[in-house]
Amino acid sequence: MTFWTKIAGFILRNRYLVLFVIALITAFLVSQMKYMRFSYTEANLLPQDHEANLQYDKFLEIFGEEGNLVILGVKDSTIFTPKKFNAWNKLVKDFDSLSQVDFTVSVSNVKQLKADRKKRKFVVEPLFNKDPQTKEEIAEIKDLLFNKLPFYNNLLYNDAGTLQTAIYINKDIVNTIERRDFIVNHLIPSVEKFEKENNLHVRISGMPYIRTVNSQNIIDEMGIFVFGALLITAIIFFFFFRSFRATFITLLVVGIGVVWAFGFIGLFRYEITVLSALIPPLIIVIGVPNAVFLINKYQQEIKKHGNQAKSLQRVISKIGNATLMTNITTASGFATFVFVKSQLLREFGILASVNIISIFILALLIIPIIYSFMALPEKKHLNHLEKKWMSNVVSWMEKMVKKQRIYIYITTVIVIILSMIGLFQIRVSGSLIEDMPKSMDFYKDIKFFEKEFGGIMPLEILIDTKKEKGVMKLSTLKKMEKLIETIETFPELSKPISVTNLVKYSKQAYYKGNPKYYQLPTSQEKGYIFAYTKNSNSNAGMLNNFVDSTGRYARITTFMKDIGTDKMDIIQDRLQAVINKQFPGDRYEVSMTGKALVFLKGTNYLIKNLVISLSLAIVLISIFMAWMFRSPQMILISLIPNMLPLLITAGLMGFFDIPIKPSTILVFSIAFGISVDDTIHFLAKYRQELLANNWKIKPAVYSALRETGVSMFYTSIVLFFGFLVFTISNFGGTIALGGLVSVTLLLAMVSNLLLLPSLLLSFERKIANQRVLKETNFKILPPKEDK
């Protein structure tokens, strides 16, 4: 008696105990679902000890959270009428009074810097002391703001007449659920009320707002994906099997699998991110093929001899072994992410691999046990095994493999050449907002702020002068100004904000507010102006945002448009050249950082790790094939049909300009892990047929093709449409992931049903002889038990 026969006997003899244990585990995992929480931070794709992360952490330590800015914008000339202008100012004052808001910068609270000649110090005065009541008063305020205060240009207004308000959220709540409460319960309702009362369209943006709205989209889509995957797989499953109970049993298995998936997320205390949100629907799509193989085998056995007990025992002992191997290889494909240093990918890999093994165990236990309580399938439920159209498809494949192998090889070579051409056209892209739903209002608002103010993703330059009060040296300020001038030459970056703006504003104030003096002071002027600054603490608060308390560190803040890694690399190189020239390494230490830059660097890091994880997956599969067949040729023959679809997918990405980015980077590992399943099913059956046909390869290949062709076709169609569900997403990356994996798996099916058997026949003299088969450890029941 073999191991799998013993397993089958145990499962069927202890049906109630097995179901009770499954119920207990399910109840436990349901109790863990309360620990699920959604991520309130951006995805950090880099390991903690990466240089980019260390630089960013240093910046946060000195200046605190930089992603706490929410911006409101209005581009409408009617805003400069008394009613609307005062309503706009009141809206901002209401936000300013909330505990979740640190401070706001708006027309309502803008300050003018003035020089008090008698006391030799600077003082700040409000732009206006009372709400303007006439258009003339507003015109005066507008003229002063737009024409006399260049310090606020691109901060509160732009030359096109667009007004902007900056709301700085309390840094302590930026990465917590309180941020979501503020955005959802205060910010959005207040803005909507203002819009309705004043007939104005207010644009909202800033990373806290984007992250909140984006997280809500992920939550909403998670439910849609689960429901969509269940619905589409159920429809396809019923179309093939024409059995309500087979469909119900399959849905029960994957339904429990989804509950377990959510339970594991809670059990491991992982946050739900744009990647981990894919796990539950992924489990449905991967779980259904297990059910296809198990139920198909059960119905084949019933049709053959009509003995239910023997059929169920053979379902477990025969298909259990092959499906275990296929699920292990699929899980291995995902598990390779565990070796990547990125926490986001590591968590995804752990969850996916654990849940894939879980769904296999659930299918292997639940399907035979439930069928054991039911009556035998009726004849109409077995008719699908003899579908004429399916037989024709299998006959066509057999004919191609038998007589048209040369055309299969020619087509393969042509496809490889075309794919290589496409492969070299692939571009790399990394952006915090590139994959966000382009039809949503918040994405349109992002584009609005990019056009009007130059972007919303902060890019920070941290300058360490290595001396206390080193920032306020005129030589340092001039070096910063040179760097700022370079930044202003890039249309992809906004006008920078730094301490130099404040110093220039101080000179303007010293010269009675004349805008033409908005420039850095000369060496002679510096003494007078800085003397005023020392006697004044009126601008100390403003200074704290740009210089640390010791005067050693300064920051230059600019905002990026939605640009990819290629453009950013060019910008970074040019800025670095200016930094190297202006800031000698022995006296200064300058670093570029910010969430957007860390994300871009994370994309490049992921691509390197993709090669590692995919290579590791290939090595694992090769080891498994070597153990299974003890033949070097078989390793090559089994890998070629699975590498070809990946190459075609890469080529398609190049031709259709689908970039390599964090979302599409998973395509290759997911597709490879799943497509190998078909190879294992085919080769397992092929080896079994070799034994039955006295090691004659040709009849073994044709028998394996006829036997496994139907199940491989069914599972591939289920997988194709299952992954296609992801294309209904609002996220560009998820759409690309779903579409590319679907196409890759369809190509993998064709490759495994045409190219794989062709290679086996072409290399028949060099592979799989009786000696090799006798030496192998891969046990399969002798064919005589199949009679």
111 bridge partner residues: 126
Tell me the average pLDDT of the chain: 84
CB proximity list for 681: less than 8 A, separation 6 or greater: 293, 322, 326, 708, 711, 712
Alpha helices in 374-440 (DSSP H): 379-382, 388-403, 405-423
Q: Tokens 């980077």 belong to which residue?
A: 665
- Tokens at residue 376, please? 């035998």
Q: Is the pLDDT confidence value at 786 over 60? A: no
**How many Å apart are CA 128 and CA 109, to the nearest integer?**
9
Alpha helices in 44-116 (DSSP H): 51-63, 82-96
CA 76 to chain CA centroid, nearest Å: 36
pLDDT band at 611 (very low <50, low <70, confident <90, very high): confident
CA distances from 778 to 84, 291, 479, 512, 618 (A): 79, 23, 70, 90, 20
112 bridge partner residues: 125
Task: Give the model confidence (pLDDT) of 151-179 as tens digits.
Answer: 888 888 888 889 999 898 988 888 788 88
Q: Does domain 1-35+220-386 have CATH number 1.20.1640.10?
A: yes
What count of other Cβ atoms lies within 10 Å of the Cβ of residue 439? Answer: 7
Task: Give the model confidence (pLDDT) of 115-157 as tens digits.
Answer: 888 888 888 888 888 889 999 999 999 898 888 999 888 888 8
Residue 253 has a pLDDT of 94
Pick from 280, 274, 271, 249: which is nearest to 354 by CA?
Answer: 280
Mean local confidence (pLDDT), 758-779: 60
Residue 246 identity (one-letter amino acid): A
Range 387-424+630-787: architecture per CATH? Up-down Bundle (1.20)
What count of other Cβ atoms lies within 10 Å of the Cβ of residue 480? Answer: 25
Mean local confidence (pLDDT), 497-519: 91
Q: Is the pLDDT confidence value at 778 over 80? A: no
Residue 242 has a pLDDT of 78
Residue 486 has a pLDDT of 92
CATH topology identical between 1-35+220-386 and 387-424+630-787? yes
**Polymer length in residues for the chain:** 787
Residue 784 has a pLDDT of 41
Q: Is the pLDDT confidence value at 100 over 50? A: yes
CB proximity list for 564: less than 8 A, separation 6 or greater: 427, 428, 429, 430, 431, 434, 659
Q: Long-range contact list for 144-148, CB < 8 A, 24+ apart?
A: 144/112, 145/107, 145/110, 147/515, 148/513, 148/515
**How many Å apart are CA 170 and CA 45, to the nearest integer?**
25
**How many Å apart are CA 643 and CA 245, to the nearest integer?**
37
Terminal alpha carbon distance of the chain: 17
Q: Is the pLDDT confidence value at 538 over 80? A: no
**Contact between residue 766 and residue 659 where contact means Cβ atoms under 8 Å apart:** no
* Structural domain boundaries in the chain: 1-35+220-386, 62-208+440-594, 387-424+630-787
CA distances from 419 to 163, 412, 643, 740 (A): 50, 10, 12, 14
Q: Is the pLDDT confidence value at 208 over 60? A: yes
Residue 383 has a pLDDT of 66
**How many Å apart are CA 70 and CA 164, to the nearest integer?**
10
**Contact between residue 682 and residue 634 where contact means Cβ atoms under 8 Å apart:** no
350-354, 560-564, 621-625: least confident range: 621-625
What count of other Cβ atoms lies within 10 Å of the Cβ of residue 154? Answer: 18
Mean local confidence (pLDDT), 549-575: 85
**Contact between residue 85 and residue 79 where contact means Cβ atoms under 8 Å apart:** yes
**Contact between residue 281 and residue 225 where contact means Cβ atoms under 8 Å apart:** yes
Pick from 361, 39, 376, 348: which is nearest to 218 by CA?
Answer: 39
> What letter would DSSP give residue 127?
S
Residue 787 or residue 680, greater confidence = 680
Task: Give the model confidence (pLDDT) of 338-348 as tens digits.
Answer: 877 777 778 88
**Residues 18, 24, 28, 31: is their CA dihedral positive or negative?**
positive
Residue 629 has a pLDDT of 67
Backbone angles phi, psi at 315, to 5 degrees: -55, -45
Residue 687 or residue 200, greater confidence = 200
Pick from 670, 608, 672: which is nearest to 644 by CA?
Answer: 672
Task: Give the model confidence (pLDDT) of 391-440 as tens digits.
Answer: 788 888 888 888 888 999 999 999 999 999 999 998 777 666 777 777 77
Mean local confidence (pLDDT), 458-463: 91
| Run of H or E including 608 | helix 595-629
What count of other Cβ atoms lies within 10 Å of the Cβ of residue 306? Answer: 10
Q: Is the pLDDT confidence value at 607 over 80? A: no
> What letter would DSSP give residue 369?
H
Task: Give the model confidence (pLDDT) of 289-324 as tens digits.
Answer: 888 888 888 888 888 888 888 888 888 887 787 788
**Contact between residue 210 and residue 446 where contact means Cβ atoms under 8 Å apart:** yes
Query: In this prediction, what percent of the chain has a pLDDT beyond 70?
Result: 92
Pick from 257, 204, 198, 236: which is nearest to 69 by CA?
Answer: 204
What count of other Cβ atoms lies within 10 Å of the Cβ of residue 722? Answer: 28
Q: Is the pLDDT confidence value at 28 over 90? A: yes
- Tokens at residue 494, please? 């906004």
